[in-house]
Amino acid sequence: MSDSSNNGSIRVGFYICHCGHNIASTIDVDAVAKYVATLPGVIVSRDYKYMCSDPGQEMIQTDIKEHTLNRIVVASCSPLLHEHTFRTATEKGGLNPYFFQMVNIRENVSWVHTNREAATLKAKDLARAAVLRVFHHRSLEPKRVPVNPDAMVVGGGIAGIHAALTLANAGKKVYLIEREPTIGGHMAMFDKTFPTLDCAACILTPKMSQVKNHPNITLWTYSEVSKVEGYVGNYNVTVQRKPRYIIEDLCVGCMECIEKCIYKEGKYFDEFNVGLSKRKPIYIPFPQATPQLVVIDRETCIEFKSGKCKKTCVEACDRDAIDFKQTERTEEVKVGTIILATGFQTFDAKRVPYYGYGKYPNVYTSLEVERLVNASGPTGGDVILRDGRRPTSVAIIHCVGSRDKNTNRWCSRTCCMYSLKLAHLLKEHTDAEVYNFYIDMRTPGKSYEEFYDKLLEENVHFIRGRVAEVTDWSDRPSEEGKLVIRVEDTMVGVVRRVPVDMVVLAVGMEPKSDAQDVRKLFNISCSTEGFFLERHPKLAPVDTFTEGVFIAGACQGPKDIPDSVAQAGAAAAQALTLIDSGEIELEPNTAFVVQEECSGCRTCLTICPYSAISRDETKQKAYINEALCKGCGTCVAACPSGAIKQNLFEDEMIFSEIRGILETESADTNGGSSCCPT
């Protein structure tokens, strides 16, 4: 089905690029150009040093006009690099850009073969194939869809907060969705932040408060996304809002209800204090929680378990803000872009039983120690161990659940720095002997090495050696009642036994346990480690392979606060590029259903990995949403009636290309195609 604009004849312009030495040193470009000139329909056949350069592109445009060309083929590098460049040049020359076909003779030929003769032959075959194919190209228009200017940020940690504020300050309406009853994430749990030793809450709470008060931000806490439908610029997101059993507009966070709860003392695992303290079923996560609202935990509240509670909390509330009849609400919103900033979880120290966590009471994780040294923590900042003692010696073990093929392979990037910070804080609070046991000291950020210097000068012991075991087996009277660390001091070159009162495990960062479920919800991928996958590790760290969905912060990989904030800003900027351009152009390599040939068999419906196909029940035919379609070709192949075709990959195009490759010159002489010379 060829389409041309010149008396029905196809007039092809062929260009082969030298790419400097990259192509020309292996392929005889002159010979290829001369050969292609002999093919039917080829009007112009040139070779040029750098086709992607301005003169190169102009050459295409000039030739189109002068020779009334209606098809262009360029043989050069990978389409991923310059297909767009040459399509634009074609368009500037006055043709529909999809009358262009690219041939990769660099990555596919000159960069992988050494035999000049065979490589030139292969280039000729590929060029011929492209010329035959391009005959059948049709004029196509990329679809343009408008972008909804509203955005959604999932995750209310520091990254999510910063992304939301950036977008809101740019004048966009943002929905910030957070699973916990308050925003703040892990950062709200820290005591001080490295390297400045700023109080974490002091630098975070102003931002949290900005979020609460920002007219452009709709903050939904205690909420989770349950469904995402649609495509870039046009997402329909369903959010489940869990009931707090508190009327949000009435509660002022005075906490009288908590005081008067029939539980005299807390009895349940307090998540914010990592279990170091207990909370009541009615609680506020921490004093600066945002929003400043109380929440009733359905799982532990007696009223829900038995229905027979005195409900002293209701009595205590003088604003009548408690409502046990609340139910889960479902909200549906339309947004154009989504930023995922769902954060991380710490490595479960129970997976490394040789460090004694859970077995010996005075073994802590780093997160627990953050709460222990914090003035609003369970002990008011006083370092009192689980058995009531105060430590006179502390061991901090680096790389717990990191850099280890038996647990997590990667380095968690932040642990060395926070171990230094905890060493400083513990020394400050207890004046104990502090030992840091490390493999390498990783201090890659601004002022980080200087922070390490500071710690060295504070008389903290730094012993280079990975700890094999924390044990209560004592070999000397001086070790009785202590936890003993057995380690090889690799720098001095001797095995040491160090008895301590307290052990702190620098647990690594890993993806949240439901990362796979979340990524499926948003139609993105995870890397092998389980973190969300970025489009390119160097050049596109906040984009994903799904347009319109961005990632930021620790959910993409272990990182500290400065990097999380930077990524959040970057993700917001990426979202803004989409929003502010107003509309988005979609590559027209989509599949389409030839309605007359569709038998309504439904085979294609479930096969589409992007859920782009739906069934029109009245017509009983399949219908493909062009905006969702990614052009993977699965439905095209699966349709038993052959009713589905794909733009840029129609049957005639593909068969011509195959024919072009197989009709090789050397087929008669060598008895085989030149597809694989050496």
Partner 1 sequence: MILPTPILNETTRGFRSEKKKVVRRIKYEAELDHDFGEHIAAHAYGERLMSCIQCGTCSATCPLSHYMDYTPRKIIAMTREGFKEEVLNSLTIWLCASCYSCLVQCPRQIHITDVMYALKREAIAQGHYPRRLPIPVLAKAFVNQVRRNGRNTESWLLVTLYLRTNPFKMLKEAVLGLRLFLAGRMSLKPDKIKRRKELTTILNAVEAGKGASIS
Partner 2 sequence: MNYIYYPGCSLHSTGKAYAESVQTVFRALDISLEELEDWNCCGATSYFSMDETEAFALAARNLELAENQGGNGGVNLIAPCAACYLVLTKTQHYLTTYPDIKQKVNDALDKVGLHYEGKTSVRHPLDVLVNDYGLDKIAKRVTRPLKGLKVACYYGCQVVRPYATFDDAMYPTSMDRLVKALGAEPIEWPLKTRCCGGSLTGTIQEAGLRLSRALLLDAQRRKADILVTCCPLCQHNLECYQGRINRKMKDHIDLPVAYFTQLMGMALGLEEKELGIHRLFIKPRVAVSAQKKGEPAHV
- When the beta carbons of 360 and 462 are compared against partner 2, the nearer one is 360
Look-up of token digits 């627990």: 368
- When the beta carbons of 298 and 496 are compared against partner 1, the nearer one is 496
- When the beta carbons of 483 and 576 are compared against partner 2, the nearer one is 483
* Dihedral of alpha carbons 59, 60, 61, 65, sign: positive
| 434 bridge partner residues | 394
Binding-site partner at residue 212 among partner 1, partner 2, none, CB < 5 to 8 Å by type: none
343-362 residues in contact with partner 2 (CB under 8 A) are 353-354
Question: Minimum distance from CB of 274 to partner 2 (Å)?
Answer: 24
Asked if residues 447 and 195 have their Cβ atoms less than 8 Å apart, the reply is yes
Closest by CA to 512, choosing from 338, 347, 269, 270, is 347
Question: Minimum distance from CB of 572 to partner 1 (Å)?
Answer: 38
Question: Minimum distance from CB of 488 to partner 2 (Å)?
Answer: 17
Determine if 269 is a binding residue for partner 2 (CB under 8 A). no
**413: Cα separation from own chain's centroid:** 17
- When the beta carbons of 469 and 597 are compared against partner 2, the nearer one is 469
Binding-site partner at residue 578 among partner 2, partner 1, none, CB < 5 to 8 Å by type: none
Look-up of token digits 């010996």: 360
Rounded to a whole number of angstroms, the CA Rg of the chain reads: 32
Question: Minimum distance from CB of 669 to partner 1 (Å)?
Answer: 43
Binding-site partner at residue 76 among partner 1, partner 2, none, CB < 5 to 8 Å by type: none
- The 3-state secondary structure of 150-166 reads CEEEECCCHHHHHHHHH
Report angle CA 363, 367, 370 to the nearest 5 degrees.
100
- When the beta carbons of 469 and 580 are compared against partner 2, the nearer one is 469
CA distances from 486 to 395, 405, 474, 494, 497 (A): 11, 21, 11, 11, 5
CA distances from 87 to 51, 95, 102, 632, 643 (A): 12, 9, 9, 21, 29
Binding-site partner at residue 472 among partner 2, partner 1, none, CB < 5 to 8 Å by type: partner 2
d(CA 126, CA 108): 10
Look-up of token digits 């790419």: 19
Binding-site partner at residue 403 among partner 1, partner 2, none, CB < 5 to 8 Å by type: partner 1
Asked if residues 216 and 292 have their Cβ atoms less than 8 Å apart, the reply is no
H or E element, residue 219: strand 217-220
User: What is the size of the binding site for partner 2 (CB under 8 A)?
Assistant: 7
- When the beta carbons of 471 and 647 are compared against partner 2, the nearer one is 471
Question: Minimum distance from CB of 411 to partner 2 (Å)?
Answer: 24
For binding to partner 1 (CB under 8 A), which residues are involved?
A: 354, 399, 403-406, 439-440, 464-469, 486-490, 493, 495
- When the beta carbons of 378 and 465 are compared against partner 1, the nearer one is 465
Tokens representing 597 are 């040939």
Asked if residues 180 and 219 have their Cβ atoms less than 8 Å apart, the reply is no
- When the beta carbons of 541 and 558 are compared against partner 1, the nearer one is 558
- When the beta carbons of 358 and 537 are compared against partner 2, the nearer one is 358
Binding-site partner at residue 536 among partner 1, partner 2, none, CB < 5 to 8 Å by type: none
- When the beta carbons of 177 and 467 are compared against partner 1, the nearer one is 467
Question: Minimum distance from CB of 568 to partner 2 (Å)?
Answer: 41
Asked if residues 35 and 96 have their Cβ atoms less than 8 Å apart, the reply is no
Parallel/antiparallel/unpaired status of strands 549-551 and 509-511: unpaired
d(CA 41, CA 257): 85
Question: Minimum distance from CB of 340 to partner 1 (Å)?
Answer: 31
453-512 residues in contact with partner 2 (CB under 8 A) are 469, 471-473, 475
Phi–psi pair at 583, nearest 5 degrees: -145, 165
Look-up of token digits 């230094």: 420
H or E element, residue 47: strand 42-48
Binding-site partner at residue 473 among partner 2, partner 1, none, CB < 5 to 8 Å by type: partner 2
- When the beta carbons of 174 and 487 are compared against partner 1, the nearer one is 487
Binding-site partner at residue 348 among partner 2, partner 1, none, CB < 5 to 8 Å by type: none
Task: Count CB atoms within 10 A of the CB of residue 410.
Answer: 16
Question: Minimum distance from CB of 185 to partner 1 (Å)?
Answer: 29
Question: Minimum distance from CB of 387 to partner 2 (Å)?
Answer: 17
Binding-site partner at residue 557 among partner 2, partner 1, none, CB < 5 to 8 Å by type: none
Binding-site partner at residue 269 among partner 1, partner 2, none, CB < 5 to 8 Å by type: none
Interface contacts to partner 2, rule CB under 8 A: 353-354, 469, 471-473, 475
